[in-house]
C-alpha cells in the first residue's frame, strides 16, 4: 500500500512538472509574444515613416538616406548594428521594384530579448519589416489629361447633362465626367456627340433618348480628386483697369464687366469683382487676355459677338477665364456663329451652361466646371489643342507601395 501511494505521488509530481512547463510555455507565448508583436508593429510604423521622409527629402534634393535614418531613430530604431539594423535603398535591392530609382526602400531588422521564453531555450526573437514608397516628381501637364470638357462634381446625378437635339463635335480630345453616381451623365432627347476619345464616366449614364454613336460612352473610369490638386496660380492685379473710349486697359475692375461702351479689351490680366455680362448685339473683342473672376457670374447673350483669345506666353498662357474655387457663381455661355474662343475656361466650383450655336471657329478651349449642361440645340464645335490651353504644375506625390 505504501509503495502504491509513493508511486502515485511520483506520477503526480511528473504531471505537475509537465503542467508547470506547459504553463511557463503559455506565459512565454503571451508575454514575450506580445512584446514581439508590439515591436513588429512599432518597427513597421518606423519603416513607413522613414520611407515617406526619405522619399520627400529625395524630391527636395536633400540627404534622403540621413533623413530616413533619423526618422527611424525617432521610433527607437537606431542603426547600431547590434539590436537594430536600418537599411535605406534607392533604388530598392529587392524585387519587384529593384533597380528603379523612382522607389525608396526601408528595411528594419530588430532583436527582442525574451523573459519567460528563456526557460524553453529562446533568448532572442528577430523581426524584419519592409516599406517601399513610390516617388512621383513634380510634373507639368494639361488638366484632367487634356479632356476637352470636364465635369468635376464627385457625386450625385447629372454632373454632365445634354438636353434636346444638340450636336456636339469634339476634335483632339473627349469628355470626362467625375461623378460616381449611376446617372452621372444624363441625356434627354437625341444627341450627336462625336468625340475621338469618347465620354469617360466614373459612374454611369442615364439615357432618355439616344446618343450617337452608341459606343461613345465609357463607364467605370478612374475618378480624380476634388477639389483639383493642381490649379493655376491666382493673379494679383496691382493697378485698376481704366476705360479709354471703347477700350479697357487690364487691371482690377469692380462692378459690371465690361463697362458700358467697351468693345475692346487691351492685352493683359483682368481681375473682376462683378458680373461678366455681354448683352444681345454687343461686341467684345480681346486678344491675349486673361479674365480672373474673383466674384460674380458670367452671362453671355447668344446674339452678341464675342471673340476672345488667351495669352500665348507668361504665367497665364492658355488661360482665358478662371473662376476660382472661392467663386461658385454660375456661367451661362450663349454662343453664335460670329463668336470664337481660344484658351481654357476654368470654373471648378461653378455650374456651366452652354446654349446656342458656335461658329466654324468654335471653341479652341478646354471647358472645366463643377457641372456642365448642354441646352437645347446647342450645336458645339470644340477643337482641343493642348498648345492653346493652360498647362499646370502637378505637385510631387509619394505613394506607399508596401
Question: Does residue 252 share a domain with residue 110?
Answer: no
For residue 178, tell me if it sits in a domain: yes
Question: Does residue 393 share a domain with residue 349?
Answer: yes
Neighbouring-strand partners of residue 325? none
Read off the C-alpha cell for 391.
498647362
CA–chain centroid gap for 291, Å, is 25
- How big is the CA angle at 348 (ends 346 and 353), to the nearest 5 degrees? 75
Domain that holds residue 233: 141-397
Question: Does residue 297 share a domain with residue 236?
Answer: yes
At 19 the pLDDT is 47
pLDDT classification of 93: cutoffs 50, 70, 90: confident
At 332 the pLDDT is 93
Q: What is the mean pLDDT of residues 170-196?
A: 86
The last residue of a domain, from among 87, 110, 137: 137
Cα–Cα distance between 378 and 380 in angstroms, integer?
Answer: 6
Read off the C-alpha cell for 70.
533619423
Q: Read off the pTM.
A: 0.77
Question: Does residue 203 share a domain with residue 94?
Answer: no
The last residue of a domain, from among 115, 137, 159: 137
Q: What is the mean pLDDT of residues 239-267?
A: 96
Question: Does residue 346 share a domain with residue 234?
Answer: yes
For residue 307, tell me if it sits in a domain: yes
Neighbouring-strand partners of residue 340? 307
pLDDT digits (tens, 9 = 90+) for 141-163: 999 999 999 999 999 999 999 87
Checking if the pLDDT of 83 tops 50, the result is yes
Neighbouring-strand partners of residue 125? 112
Question: Does residue 97 share a domain with residue 73?
Answer: yes
pLDDT digits (tens, 9 = 90+) for 3-17: 555 455 555 555 555
Nearest Cα residue to 342 out of 313, 357, 364, 318: 364
Cα–Cα distance between 88 and 343 in angstroms, integer?
Answer: 46
The last residue of a domain, from among 137, 166, 191: 137
Question: Does residue 231 share a domain with residue 126?
Answer: no
At 347 the pLDDT is 98
Cα–Cα distance between 340 and 356 in angstroms, integer?
Answer: 13
Nearest Cα residue to 311 out of 352, 349, 265: 265
Read off the C-alpha cell for 41.
508593429
Q: Is the distance from CB of 112 to CB of 34 less than 8 angstroms? A: no
Mean pLDDT comparison of 138-147, 175-184, 295-304, 331-340, highest-scoring range: 175-184
Question: Does residue 373 share a domain with residue 276?
Answer: yes
| Total structural domains within the chain | 2
Question: Does residue 219 share a domain with residue 278?
Answer: yes
Question: Does residue 160 share a domain with residue 132?
Answer: no
Read off the C-alpha cell for 244.
479709354
Read off the C-alpha cell for 48.
513607413
For residue 223, tell me if it sits in a domain: yes
Question: Does residue 75 share a domain with residue 178?
Answer: no
For residue 402, tell me if it sits in a domain: no
pLDDT digits (tens, 9 = 90+) for 318-336: 999 999 999 999 999 887 7
Amino acid at each position: 500500500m505504501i509503495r502504491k501511494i509513493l508511486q502515485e505521488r511520483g506520477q503526480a509530481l511528473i504531471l505537475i512538472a509537465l503542467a508547470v512547463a506547459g504553463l511557463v510555455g503559455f506565459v512565454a507565448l503571451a508575454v514575450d509574444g506580445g512584446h514581439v508583436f508590439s515591436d513588429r508593429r512599432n518597427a513597421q510604423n518606423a519603416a513607413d515613416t522613414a520611407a515617406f521622409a526619405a522619399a520627400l527629402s529625395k524630391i527636395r534634393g536633400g540627404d534622403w538616406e540621413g533623413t530616413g535614418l533619423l526618422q527611424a531613430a525617432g521610433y527607437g530604431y537606431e542603426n547600431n548594428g547590434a539590436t537594430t539594423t536600418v537599411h535605406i535603398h534607392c533604388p530598392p535591392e529587392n524585387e519587384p521594384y529593384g533597380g528603379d530609382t523612382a522607389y525608396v526602400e526601408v528595411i528594419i531588422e530588430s532583436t527582442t530579448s525574451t523573459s519567460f521564453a528563456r526557460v524553453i531555450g529562446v533568448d532572442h526573437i528577430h523581426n524584419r519589416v519592409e516599406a517601399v514608397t513610390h516617388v512621383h516628381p513634380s510634373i507639368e501637364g494639361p488638366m484632367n489629361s487634356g479632356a476637352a470638357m470636364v465635369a468635376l462634381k464627385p457625386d450625385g446625378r447629372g454632373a454632365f447633362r445634354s438636353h434636346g437635339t444638340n450636336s456636339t463635335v469634339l476634335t483632339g480630345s473627349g469628355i470626362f465626367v467625375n461623378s460616381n453616381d449611376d446617372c452621372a451623365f444624363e441625356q434627354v432627347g437625341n444627341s450627336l456627340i462625336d468625340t475621338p476619345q469618347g465620354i469617360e464616366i466614373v459612374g454611369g449614364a442615364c439615357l432618355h433618348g439616344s446618343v450617337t454613336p452608341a459606343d461613345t460612352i465609357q463607364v467605370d473610369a478612374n475618378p480624380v480628386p476634388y477639389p483639383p490638386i493642381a490649379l493655376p496660380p491666382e493673379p494679383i492685379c496691382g493697378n485698376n483697369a481704366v476705360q479709354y473710349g471703347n477700350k479697357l486697359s487690364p487691371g482690377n475692375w469692380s462692378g459690371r464687366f465690361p463697362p458700358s461702351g467697351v468693345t475692346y479689351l487691351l492685352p493683359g490680366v483682368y481681375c473682376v469683382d462683378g458680373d461678366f455680362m455681354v448683352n444681345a448685339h454687343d461686341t467684345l473683342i480681346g486678344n491675349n487676355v486673361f479674365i480672373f473672376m474673383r466674384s460674380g457670374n458670367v452671362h453671355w447673350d447668344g446674339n452678341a459677338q464675342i471673340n476672345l483669345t488667351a495669352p500665348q506666353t507668361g504665367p497665364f498662357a492658355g488661360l482665358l477665364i478662371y473662376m476660382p474655387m472661392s467663386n461658385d457663381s454660375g456661367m451661362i455661355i450663349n454662343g453664335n456663329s460670329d463668336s470664337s474662343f481660344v484658351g481654357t475656361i476654368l470654373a471648378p466650383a461653378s455650374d456651366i451652361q452652354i446654349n446656342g450655336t458656335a461658329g466654324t471657329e468654335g471653341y479652341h478651349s478646354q471647358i472645366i466646371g463643377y457641372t456642365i449642361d448642354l441646352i437645347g440645340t446647342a450645336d458645339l464645335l470644340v477643337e482641343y489643342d493642348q498648345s492653346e490651353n493652360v498647362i499646370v504644375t502637378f505637385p510631387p506625390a509619394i505613394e506607399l507601395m508596401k
